[in-house]
Amino acid sequence: MSFTIDDELWSAVGDPIRRRMLDLLLTDGGGTSTTLSARLPVTRQAVAKHLAVLDRVGLVHVTPSGRERLYAVDEAQLARAIAQLSSVGATWDARLRRIKRIAEAIQRNQES
Amino acid sequence: MSFTIDDELWSAVGDPIRRRMLDLLLTDGGGTSTTLSARLPVTRQAVAKHLAVLDRVGLVHVTPSGRERLYAVDEAQLARAIAQLSSVGATWDARLRRIKRIAEAIQRNQES
DNA sequence: AATTGGAGCAACCAATGGTTGCGCATGATG
DNA sequence: CATCATGCGCAACCATTGGTTGCTCCAATT
């Protein structure tokens, strides 16, 4: 039980386009809806919507500069998202291992 | 670039309900749409649709038994999904660390 | 044979990710 | 200074998806 995970955060990084956006923002150190859309297979408007989602969950923050709106990754929040990802992965991993252990125990029992 | 990630697999585990379903299937060792829906905040039909999604990407498999259809987690496929999760996490983590390193280097430069 | 209960199917609804088209404001250019 | 052009936001619209209800069907139990 007890999903320590923040569903909003997860679903924010659940979208493949948003993951690529985070990737671009990380490697380029920032970007606008226009610059991002130039490197993605979707329109500027779609990118803007995604940026709004990422902004809502705090994964990016924006700094207006003239007529541009420059977005950059919030590193602390991304770190939290990463932690939650690996947390769920670890949980499942542990369960899989437990199942395997039990299965092996049963097999040992049957052999004896 | 090169997203080694299988978007279908990711988006399958991207849904919070489906994650909880996988969780239940893992802990209980299997279940049907009816038994799962009893422990989830959605209807049997919704669960059935989710099971169809999980089945399509191979995260679960079904064994008909009488009038029931028993679903269980495909451990190998789940293991692959976990690997991809942690892979993306590791990538981002590395990028964050690199950024931090660069930032520190700059700061050291400015101090000198 | 009648009843019960699990599962599938269809219609429908809301939210989301995508598009196009437009207007607006601000920075660059003559 | 006037004009051009560009970056952005807003609105309407469409397709897909996750959810519901209502029904039928089929197999197990009694």
Question: Do A95 and B14 make contact, defined as CB atoms within 8 angstroms?
Answer: no
Radius of gyration for chain B, computed over Cα atoms and rounded to the nearest angstrom: 20
Tokens of A33: 């809806």
B10, B26, B29 member nearest A14 (Cβ): B10
Q: Mean of the pLDDT values across residues B9-16?
A: 91
| C-alpha distances out from residue A23 to A29, A60, B1, B79, Å | 10, 12, 9, 24
Name the residue facing B11 among A3, A14, A78 (closest C-beta). A14
**8 A C-beta contact, residue B43 and residue B34:** no
Contact A85 B82 (CB under 8 A): no
Domains and CATH numbers, chain B: 7-111 (1.10.10.10)
Residue B54: is its pLDDT beyond 90? Answer: yes
Name beta bridge partners: B71.
B31, B62
A 45-84 residues inside an 8 A Cβ radius of B: 75, 78-79, 82
Burial bucket for residue B94 (CB in 10 Å: 0-12, 13-18, 19+): exposed
Residue closest to B88 by CA, chosen among B30, B4, B31, B11? B4
- By C1' distance from the Cα of B15, the closest nucleotide is D18
Helix (H) or strand (E) holding A75: helix A75-111
**Cα separation, B21 vs B31, whole angstroms:** 9
pTM: 0.87
In angstroms, rounded to a whole number, what is the distance separating the alpha carbons of residues B7 and A12?
A: 14
B19 pLDDT above the threshold of 50 = yes
d(CA B112, CA B107): 9
Cβ–Cβ under 8 Å, residues A88 and A5: yes
- Which of B29, B89, B99 lies at the smallest CB-CB distance from A82? B89
Is the CB of A68 less than 7 A from some atom of nucleic acid strand D?
yes
Chain C nucleotides near the protein (CB, 7 A): 5-11, 17-21, 25-27
* pLDDT confidence tier of residue B112, bands split at 50, 70 and 90: low
Task: Count residue pairs from A and B with Cβ separation < 8 A.
Answer: 77
Is residue A2 predicted with pLDDT exceeding 80? no
Q: Are B78 and B59 in contact (CB under 8 A)?
A: yes
Checking if the pLDDT of A112 tops 80, the result is no
Nearest nt to the CA of B48 via C1' is C7
Q: How confident is the model at residue B106 (pLDDT cuts 50, 70, 90)?
A: confident
CB contact under 8 A, A11 and B7: no
**Residues B91 and B46: beta-carbon distance below 8 Å:** no
Residues 6+ apart with CB under 8 A from B54: B12, B18, B21, B22, B60, B71
